[in-house]
């Protein structure tokens, strides 16, 4: 029997039971769609996190207060703080840096007329935009004069501008109200996008000195000194990041009067290290999600084997008749393998289209920008084909080894 005839015979067998064939491939469709969609979402999350960290610059170092310290064994812990004086010392002493920017952040309800937004209000210096890679879309940046005079001025992010001024294309020069204090909008920042629950465009920036005196007040003062949430340092190049980090450690330990045996009471996070760590975590998570989704393909494969065994039982007399007129074992084996492979390939193609559709819906809903990759499509399709082949071998082998006389006597 020609191979083409075998294929046509197998396809006719499947078309004779359209509903059963459709239900059989459902498990493969669901499994492939789940693998494609989940891996697309995982790849999108990885890309989004990578882009967000990269947008801050790979040479960025963020300094924050570390764990509380215990003066002596058994004594209560003493809270650790990062002070404005620490920033001043670092700014005077550090070498091989492109910029340094202190910041103190609080959360307030910002209003403009009937519109309001609960957002972070961050006190910054004039170097904040450069160090954190923000750009001005309209208006101007905060300058040294704003800090010296403690001007009530504000820079707002793109999201904040939309929330507070939905019908105003350019809010520069208009006023917003923070904690019952009027601030004049002097500029709007270019959008940097969002990642998961973090929106880099939902923020208000004000002069740091204005924040200390008008908004944060006692909350930003400890031990008679002004405190900071973070000090961002931009190294001059990727090659100087480690050197700058070592300088920061030496300077801050001296500033905080730490002894040789004392642990650091501050943390230095390296953007490059953070990028590498998060990329590894998200990649592992994506693979894990894909592996879980692939389990449903096994269920689909078991369904294919089950239906194929039923088909062999129903067509026992047909198999016996074909063998009686000269069909060889390999003809019968090939026929049933073609049936199972047709089911798995059809299910794989439909599943890929469905998975890509789900990924597109997730993107359109702006939950995350899902990315369907060629590798994930080929992996899921290859797995579907392998499942069909693996679970089709036993039923096909069983059909091929039926004795003609016993098959013909079957009812």
pLDDT at 205 over 60: yes
DSSP letters spanning 153-196: EEEE-HHHHHHH-TT-S--TT-EEEETTEEEEEEEEEPP--EET
pLDDT at 407 over 50: no
pLDDT at 314 over 90: no
pLDDT for position 400: 60
Question: The tokens 């957002």 sit on which residue?
Answer: 119
383 pLDDT tier (thresholds 50, 70, 90): confident
Which pair of structure tokens corresponds to residue 133?
A: 């890679």
DSSP letters spanning 85-143: HHHHHHHHH--SEEEEEEEEEEEEEEEETTEEEEEEEEEE-TTHHHHTT--EEEE----
Higher per-residue pLDDT: 154 or 292: 154
Instruction: Report the pLDDT averaged over residues 301-329.
Output: 64
pLDDT at 1 over 50: no
pLDDT for position 390: 76
Stretch among 259-268, 278-287, 323-332 having the lowest mean pLDDT: 323-332
Instruction: Report the pLDDT averaged over residues 34-61.
Output: 74
pLDDT for position 233: 92
Contacts of 402 (CB under 8 A, 6+ apart): 316, 319, 320, 323, 332
Instruction: Give me the chain's average pLDDT, please.
Output: 80
Contacts of 171 (CB under 8 A, 6+ apart): 112, 156, 161, 164, 165, 185, 188
pLDDT for position 42: 78
Instruction: Report the pLDDT averaged over residues 145-170.
Output: 92
Higher per-residue pLDDT: 244 or 42: 244
Using only the alpha carbons of the chain, give its radius of gyration: 33
Higher per-residue pLDDT: 205 or 401: 205
SS3 track for 191-227: CCCEECCEECCCEEEEEHHHHHHHHHHHHHEECCEEE
Contacts of 196 (CB under 8 A, 6+ apart): 45, 48, 49, 368
Instruction: Report the pLDDT averaged over residues 121-139.
Output: 92
Cβ atoms of 17 and 25 within 8 Å: the answer is no
The whole-angstrom separation of Cα 225 and Cα 150 is 18
Instruction: Report the pLDDT averaged over residues 330-358.
Output: 79
Instruction: Report the pLDDT averaged over residues 251-255.
Output: 93
Question: The tokens 């929330």 sit on which residue?
Answer: 163
pLDDT for position 94: 93
Stretch among 146-150, 218-222, 274-278 having the lowest mean pLDDT: 274-278
Q: Please list the alpha-helical segments (H only) found in 203-328.
A: 208-210, 241-255, 271-314, 316-324
pLDDT for position 185: 95
Stretch among 70-79, 181-190, 385-394 having the lowest mean pLDDT: 70-79
Stretch among 2-6, 138-142, 213-217, 389-393 having the lowest mean pLDDT: 2-6
pLDDT per residue as tens digits for the range 79-112: 789 999 999 999 999 999 989 999 999 999 999 9
Nearest Cα to Cα of residue 342 among 398, 384, 289: 384
- Percentage of residues of the chain with pLDDT beyond 90: 31
pLDDT for position 372: 85
Stretch among 17-21, 213-217, 367-371 having the lowest mean pLDDT: 17-21
């Amino acid at each position: 029997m020609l191979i083409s005839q075998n294929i046509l015979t197998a396809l006719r067998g499947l078309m004779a039971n359209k509903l059963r064939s459709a239900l059989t491939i459902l498990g493969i469709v669901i499994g492939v769609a789940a693998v494609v969609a989940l891996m697309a979402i995982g790849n999108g999350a990885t890309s989004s996190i990578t882009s967000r960290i990269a947008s801050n610059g790979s040479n960025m170092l963020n300094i924050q207060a570390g764990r509380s310290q215990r003066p002596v064994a058994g004594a209560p812990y003493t809270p650790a703080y990062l002070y404005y004086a620490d920033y001043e010392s670092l700014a005077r002493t550090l070498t091989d840096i492109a910029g340094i920017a202190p910041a103190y952040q609080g959360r307030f309800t910002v209003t403009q007329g009937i519109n309001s937004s609960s957002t972070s209000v961050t006190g910054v210096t004039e170097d904040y935009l450069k160090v954190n890679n923000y750009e001005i879309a309209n208006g101007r940046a905060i300058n040294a004069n704003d800090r010296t005079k403690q001007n009530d001025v504000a820079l707002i992010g793109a999201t904040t501008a939309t929330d507070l001024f939905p019908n105003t294309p350019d809010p520069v020069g208009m006023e917003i109200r923070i904690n019952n204090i009027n601030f004049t909008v002097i500029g709007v920042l270019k959008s940097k996008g969002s990642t998961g629950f973090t929106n880099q465009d939902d923020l208000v920036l004000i002069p740091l000195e204005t924040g200390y005196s008008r908004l944060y007040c006692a909350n930003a003062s400890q031990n008679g000194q002004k405190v900071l949430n973070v000090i961002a340092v931009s190294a001059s190049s990727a090659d100087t990041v480690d050197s700058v980090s070592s300088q920061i450690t030496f300077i801050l330990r001296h500033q905080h009067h730490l002894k040789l045996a004392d642990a650091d009471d501050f943390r230095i996070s390296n953007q490059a290290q953070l990028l590498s760590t998060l990329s590894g975590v998200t990649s592992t998570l994506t693979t894990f999600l894909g592996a879980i989704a692939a389990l449903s393909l096994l269920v689909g494969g078991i369904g294919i084997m089950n239906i194929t065994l039923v088909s062999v039982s129903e067509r026992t007399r047909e198999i016996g008749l074909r063998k009686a007129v000269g069909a060889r074992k390999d003809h019968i084996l090939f026929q049933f393998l073609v049936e199972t492979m047709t089911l798995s390939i059809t299910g794989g193609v439909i599943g890929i289209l469905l998975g890509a559709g789900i990924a597109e819906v997730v993107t359109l809903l702006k939950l995350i920008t899902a990315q369907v990759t060629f590798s994930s499509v080929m992996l899921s399709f290859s797995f579907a084909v392998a499942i069909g082949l693996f679970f089709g071998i036993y039923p096909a082998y069983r059909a091929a080894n039926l004795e003609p006389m016993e098959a013909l006597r079957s009812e």
